[in-house]
Amino acid sequence: MTAAIDTGLKAKERETVARELSKVLADSFAVYQKTHGYHWNVRGPEFFSLHKLLEQQYNDIWAALDDIAERIRALGELAPQSASAFANLTSIKDGDPEKEASEMLKELIQDHGVLIATARAALDAADEAGDEASVDLMTVRLAAHEKAAWMLRSSLGQR
């Protein structure tokens, strides 16, 4: 017998928020993989500083993946876990290790922008459902991805 989930949210609200969080999870995993790959493959005069920056960023995303997946589970839904499930939920493309460092950073800036939009949509769904825990999680993730994009832009000499 399955115990009822009593979070103060209706089943449909939990399902809607979990669906949006699953998109955030998929986008986050895609950005994690690309950032980690670019960390391995970045080259050029700024190698060391970029290598360290990307390491900090992928470590942050890695920790967040667990938080997002666990929130989906707390809402009573299953978190996506397969490559095909993630591929169906994200529009972020795989990275290319042949790119020059500046092109890697430009691509990651765009990807963080996509992820920011996905997180905002999840935040809106959570807010509409009255799911403060998911709102809080998405607020933290938004700040992290906005900061990551700023650091990447600044590494390119952009505002």
Q: What is the pLDDT along the chain (159 residues), one digit of tens a residue?
A: 566 788 899 999 999 999 999 999 999 999 999 999 999 999 999 999 999 999 999 999 999 999 999 999 999 999 999 999 999 999 999 999 999 999 999 999 999 999 999 999 999 999 999 999 999 999 999 999 999 999 999 999 998
Dihedral sign, CA of 54, 55, 58, 60? negative
Question: How many CB atoms neighbour CB 121 within 10 A?
Answer: 14
User: In the prediction, which pLDDT does 99 show?
Assistant: 97
Burial classification of residue 110, based on how many CB atoms lie within 10 Å of its CB (0-12 exposed, 13-18 middle, 19 or more buried): middle
User: In the prediction, which pLDDT does 33 show?
Assistant: 97
- Kindly list the domain boundaries of the chain, sorted by start residue: 11-89+98-155
Q: How far, in Å, CA of 127 to CA of 136, rounded?
A: 10
Amino acid at the residue 104: M
User: In the prediction, which pLDDT does 159 show?
Assistant: 85
User: In the prediction, which pLDDT does 6 show?
Assistant: 84
User: In the prediction, which pLDDT does 3 show?
Assistant: 67
Q: How far, in Å, CA of 153 to CA of 142, rounded?
A: 16
Q: Do 117 and 24 meet the contact criterion of CB atoms below 8 Å apart?
A: no
Tell me how far CA of residue 14 lies from CA of 62, 65, 81, 114, 121, in angstroms.
Answer: 24, 19, 19, 23, 15
Q: How far, in Å, CA of 89 to CA of 81, rounded?
A: 11
User: In the prediction, which pLDDT does 2 show?
Assistant: 61
Q: How far, in Å, CA of 106 to CA of 147, rounded?
A: 15
CATH topology of domain 11-89+98-155: Ferritin (1.20.1260)
User: In the prediction, which pLDDT does 76 show?
Assistant: 96
Q: Residue 143 corresponds to which tokens in the numbers above?
A: 């700040």
